[in-house]
Amino acid sequence: MSTNSLKNKSELGSYLAGLIESDGSIIVPKDNTNTPTIKIIFNIKDKPLAECIMETLGSGSIQPASDNSVQYVVRSKSGLVKLVNLINGEFRTPKIEALHRLIDWINNKPDYNNSKVINKMPLNIIPLAENSWFSGFSEGDGSFLIRATEGVKYNNVTVTYAISQGNINESVLQSYKPIMLKIAELCGTNFEEKNLSAEKNGLNSFMWRVRTTNKKGVLTVIQYFKKFPLWSYKYLDYLNWEQAYNIIINKNTQNQKDLLK
């Protein structure tokens, strides 16, 4: 991971916004005794990415989150203000409400940002294909799937890009419908709502899911990630997925057999 790849501020802001909206949280205290916090969870394999982001932003710390994950935590004045200024205007999901509460919190503390007021920007509505937000969002919630099956006469290999959003509260999930529609549009496919029964606490969970397997949609996804690449370990999954797609398109029988091994 090269720090230079994170230097483009316009792309860094949209990427971090997508990353926070998928695998992050914004915690805003209700009183003056605590300070706000922005956290991003990373798989332990992606600790180098967390370190790279921390180095680029010049603030924050990396802490254990579980046996298999770490979290990048920002809570200093300068760090929060810098990060907020980067992601303000880049959010596309209902998490913007938490960002706006954080901005209100900062604006109500004149000494926090040298009395400079941060204007709360609305949801970003430019096409997904035009910045790196979808790349950041896919880091947390996207999957690159390869399915290889062996038949009597023919081998069959399919590739699927899938992304989902779930919640036990159906009304909360409904608030994610606009962005999932836009993702489905980008991927040239439809999206579906699933009601998943869950044994834990006897609760049901609800999920929006977008899956694309058609040639046009998969090619669009590939073209997007060539322009706005992933920065995490998931990039290797993407490369294998793209290679499988090329094998399918080129009808390389021997390589399809190799995928079955």
Instruction: State pLDDT tens for residues 200-209.
Output: 445 567 788 9
Measuring CA to CA, how many Å separate 245 from each of 145, 211, 223? Answer: 11, 15, 12
| pTM, rounded to two decimals | 0.89
Which of 42-46, 83-87, 198-202, 237-241 bottoms out in mean pLDDT, i.e. has the lowest?
Answer: 198-202
Max CA-CA distance within the chain? 73
State the architecture of 129-259 in CATH terms: Roll (3.10)
Average of per-residue pLDDT across 169-197: 85
Structure tokens belonging to residue 232:
């995490």
Two tokens, residue 3: 């720090």
The residue behind tokens 């294998």 is: 240
What average pLDDT does the segment 53-60 reach? Answer: 96
β-bridge partners, 69: 43, 66
The pLDDT, as a whole number, for residue 251 is 74
pLDDT exceeds 70 at position 256: no
pLDDT at 122 over 50: yes
Lowest mean pLDDT among 57-66, 157-166, 171-180, 246-255: 246-255
Find the angle CA(69)-CA(70)-CA(74) to the nearest 5 degrees: 150
Identify the CATH assignment for 3-125 out of 3.10.28.10, 3.50.50.60, 3.30.300.130, 3.90.1150.10. Answer: 3.10.28.10
Poorest-pLDDT segment among 1-10, 60-69, 73-82: 1-10
Q: Which residue has the tokens 């603030």?
A: 59
Domain assignments of the chain as residue spans, ordered by start: 3-125, 129-259
Q: Alpha carbon 144 to chain centroid distance?
A: 13
DSSP 130: G
Do domains 3-125 and 129-259 share one topology? The answer is yes
